[in-house]
Structure 1
Amino acid sequence: MISQILFHFSPELTCLNDTIYGNGQVDEKVVVYCKPDEVGEKTAICNKNGTFSDRVDNCVLKEIDNLFSLSQNFLDTAGVLTSNAAKASWGVLNTNLTKNDSSGLLGTVETISNFLTDDFVDIATPSIFLNKTTVNNSVNNLFNLNSSVLIDIPASEASFSSITIITFESLDNVLPARNSSSPNNRVNTINGKVVLVKVNGTIKNVTFRFDVLNKTLANPQCVFWNFNLFGGLGGWDGEGCELQSDKNGTVTCHCNHLTSFSILMSPFIPAVLRVALDFITYIGVGISMGCLVVCLIIEMLVWNAVTGNNTSYMRHVSIVNIAFSLLIADIWFIIGAAISDNENKDLPACSTATFFIHFFYLALFFWMLVSGLLLLYRTVMVFSHMSKPAMLAISFSLGYGAPLIIAVITIAVTAPGKQYIRGNDGVCWLNWTESMALLAFVIPALTIVVINLLILIVVLFKMLRRGVGDVTQPDEKNAVVVIARCLAILTPFFGTTWGLGVGTMTTPNNLGIHIVFAIFNSLQGLFILVFGTLLDKKVCSCHTY
């Protein structure tokens, strides 16, 4: 009788012997405790067919749960690590291309955000803002930090129940601006807040609107942080994102996935000023080439009359090769500019143009060095007589041999890694941002400028002490004076010109440097004609005759 009563009142169990949830009645919500080292619970609903559905696992390791309870402190700590005070330290760390410390910090924050279990979390610190909320329909302006970041997800994509958004005020202090094309990019700048977005589902259509931080920058790129770039080093990648608009200080991006996003921008030169710079450059180079052609024609016409002694002969050999080197360099500059302006840029042709521009500009400076050494030789070693063939052999070996060696080594070292030419703006010239190949021109050129200035100081000192006639042979006095005057003017002029050229690379947003460099660069041929040929008394006397 008792057994019959017990049987009558026993519940009817439909779901039986589930490995996790055990037994359950129809429509019953079964709650199961987590493992001993976890907190939370697991729930499921028993169906009529004897199976459990709507399984939810909220179990979290106790250590992680303790971390959640300290999330405010964690975000405060992360904020300190991304502050302006830590920027210099991160800069040093990011120069090491074998460690991904900056990428690791972002990855840690992203990993922790995966374990947020509450339906609603809202934590604000001075540097990091975290918001997790539930959604049902269209999502617009889910996270609004002083209106600097807006996220728009259409209703058709809102098939998820929660969204987590973390906005970093100063993560640009931590993450380098390297993009998928270069691990050493020094041109681009992170110019918007970095925002991390995650949902418990998938999204293929999302729009971001960023307020730019520095309105003097342009050329926006919509990017996300790709942890896998450069062998796990990490970098900004534009795959799956495209620029929709850039106006009124707001950049709008459209992406087909979610992760950590921002915008990269580079220095801006207004279109009107860019046209003016191009005009000055091309007109100036044309005038320079014309002056160089005139210089070579004059030298050819007066050659026999002005090369009566070895010093005069070598002076005119030097000035002819200086003019010839600059003329050929300018021709290759025009060719390189034409290649750069072509939409389908021919990279081998661009590399070829860069090689010859590099070689002949170096030859210009090394022939200036030949002139300087000739001046030193004729004023210090007055009674020494080197044969003309020996002087020519030394001059041509130094004037063309040394530049050839430097140019060949430069392309051999940097070309295999595709870091020989500039890749960020399509210009056919030596790379600066990745391989610093430009130093293969800058260092020799500026070194020669310094050497020639020292030579001028020594020669001037000797002339002031003893007079020009006492430090040279009488028939060589005019040649020595012309060489000294030529070096005294052309050396600082060329040095200033290419010092400004380096400035356009290191501070590309300085418009003044661009303008002055374009003007100085266009006057090089004119200065060679005037101070190398026309102001030579013997040349003028031949012309008068």
Structure 2
Amino acid sequence: MQYGCKWEGNHNEGHCVCEHLSTFAILMSKEPLEVPGLNYVTYVALSVSVLSLISNLVIELIVWSDVVKTSTLYLRHIAHVNISLCLLIADLCFLASSDPKNISDLWCRTSVVLKHFCYLAMFFWMFCLSATLLHQAVFLFHKVSKKNYLRFSMVIGYFCPLLIVVITFLTNDGGIEGKYYSKDTCWLVYGGLLKGTIYTFIIPVGAIVFINVFSMLVVIMKLISHHTEIQQKNEISPEKEKAAAKTVMRSVILLTPIFGVTWIFGFAILVLDLTSGSLAYAVHYIFTVANGFQVGSK
């Protein structure tokens, strides 16, 4: 019998009632896995994330007019604000539905729709941000107007995930339990290899992470190339070389969570046989810690 489940008794033979609490890793899992202490890590991580995201949004509101003075800064901050907003709503919904046994079917289904949309929207806005940074790195002298950027970002950031969620919901009998979502997890359904509604989340996320990794590598290569050109033209002191190396390292550290690269550990949860054992526990912990504490605006 699976850990966290109990037999209903002789009156209902062969039927078990499970009392799993949803951990953050369920977003990329085939089925719930009870990992010691991971529930507490999830609650702490998401609580810290929610508080940080609220602080970020408040700070953005206060300093917006003083900080956002150029088109480049405007594009970046618009993306940061929307990433933070989507992640905040998704995390709040996750916390509110983390105990599926004690919530109504209506709220469970509603929370799944909101999480499905908001987490997807977060990734599509990450794509908008990576596309902006890539454009700025490759086409230094080509400027994008605010109006065109907003149109592009609103379509990509909100319309695309909304379309995915609506089509998935309607094609699964109007979001019926067992087809669109699971009441045991208050999340999408895994039905086998490339089967189940969870792939309407995993496939877009995988594609965006792949594109964002490519964008991040291009941006870093541009930074290194720029430093090399300066080095060839001028004598650079060891102090300046260290400063340049720190700039590259800082870019890697900052871009990795912003572009959703840490979600690669989620694909390890999905692809590898992580039903039990130390490897399963390690990957679940890494994914939860790396992404549960995620803050949208840097």
| CA deviation profile, 1:136-191 (whole Å, cap 9, x unmatched) | xxxxxxxxxxxxxxxxxxxxxxxxxxxxxxxxxxxxxxxxxxxxxxxxxxxxxxxx
Residue 391 (str. 1) matches residue 158 (str. 2) = no
Aligned length: 263
Match of 1:264 in 2: none
Match of 1:242 in 2: 13
Q: CA deviation at 1:341?
A: 2.8
Match of 1:301 in 2: 62
1:451 to 211, 230, 241: 211
Match of 1:280 in 2: 41
Match of 2:233 in 1: none
| CA deviation profile, 1:1-34 (whole Å, cap 9, x unmatched) | xxxxxxxxxxxxxxxxxxxxxxxxxxxxxxxxxx
Match of 2:284 in 1: 517
Match of 2:235 in 1: none
Q: CA deviation at 1:296?
A: 1.4
Equivalent residue letter for 1:386: V
Match of 1:420 in 2: 180
Residue 315 (str. 1) matches residue 86 (str. 2) = no
Identity %: 28
Choose 365-374 or 305-314, whichever is displaced more.
305-314
Residue 382 (str. 1) matches residue 146 (str. 2) = no
Mapped partners of 2:187, 2:157: distance in 1: 21
| CA deviation profile, 1:31-80 (whole Å, cap 9, x unmatched) | xxxxxxxxxxxxxxxxxxxxxxxxxxxxxxxxxxxxxxxxxxxxxxxxxx
Residue 487 (str. 1) matches residue 264 (str. 2) = no
Correspondences of 1:400-411 after superposition (within 5 Å): 400-411=158-169
Unaligned runs of 5+ in 2: 17-30, 231-246
Equivalent residue letter for 2:58: I
| CA deviation profile, 1:441-462 (whole Å, cap 9, x unmatched) | 1111111110011112223333
Equivalent residue letter for 1:517: H
> Against the structure 1 CA distance between its residues 348 and 469, is the aligned structure 2 distance closer, same or farther, given a 3 Å change threshold?
farther
> Against the structure 1 CA distance between its residues 406 and 216, is the aligned structure 2 distance closer, same or farther, given a 3 Å change threshold?
closer
TM-score (structure 2 length as normaliser): 0.74
> Against the structure 1 CA distance between its residues 520 and 459, is the aligned structure 2 distance closer, same or farther, given a 3 Å change threshold?
same
| CA deviation profile, 1:441-488 (whole Å, cap 9, x unmatched) | 111111111001111222333333344999xxxxxxxxx988776323
1:500 and 1:517 in contact (8 A); partners too: no
Secondary structure in structure 2 of the residue aligned to 1:460: helix
Mapped partners of 2:146, 2:197: distance in 1: 36
> Against the structure 1 CA distance between its residues 242 and 294, is the aligned structure 2 distance closer, same or farther, given a 3 Å change threshold?
same
1:429 to 187, 198, 201: 187
Secondary structure in structure 1 of the residue aligned to 2:295: helix
Mapped partners of 2:14, 2:252: distance in 1: 57
> Against the structure 1 CA distance between its residues 218 and 370, is the aligned structure 2 distance closer, same or farther, given a 3 Å change threshold?
closer
Choose 412-421 or 310-319, whichever is displaced more.
412-421
Match of 1:335 in 2: 96
Mapped partners of 1:371, 1:357: distance in 2: 21
Mapped partners of 1:499, 1:446: distance in 2: 8
Match of 1:349 in 2: 107
Match of 1:441 in 2: 201
Higher relative contact order (CA 8 A, sep 6+): 2
Mapped partners of 1:303, 1:525: distance in 2: 27
| CA deviation profile, 1:331-390 (whole Å, cap 9, x unmatched) | 11122224x131xx5323211110100100011111110111001111222222221111
Higher radius of gyration, 1 or 2: 1
> Against the structure 1 CA distance between its residues 325 and 241, is the aligned structure 2 distance closer, same or farther, given a 3 Å change threshold?
closer
Equivalent residue letter for 1:464: I
TM-score (structure 1 length as normaliser): 0.43
Mapped partners of 1:496, 1:389: distance in 2: 33
Secondary structure in structure 2 of the residue aligned to 1:528: coil
Secondary structure in structure 2 of the residue aligned to 1:414: coil
Equivalent residue letter for 2:90: A
> Against the structure 1 CA distance between its residues 468 and 363, is the aligned structure 2 distance closer, same or farther, given a 3 Å change threshold?
farther
1:367 and 1:395 in contact (8 A); partners too: yes
Mapped partners of 1:430, 1:329: distance in 2: 14
| CA-atom RMSD in angstroms | 3.7
1:452 and 1:487 in contact (8 A); partners too: no
Mapped partners of 1:268, 1:372: distance in 2: 32
The structure in which a higher percent of residues are strand is: 1
Equivalent residue letter for 2:256: A
Secondary structure in structure 2 of the residue aligned to 1:337: coil
Secondary structure in structure 1 of the residue aligned to 2:13: strand
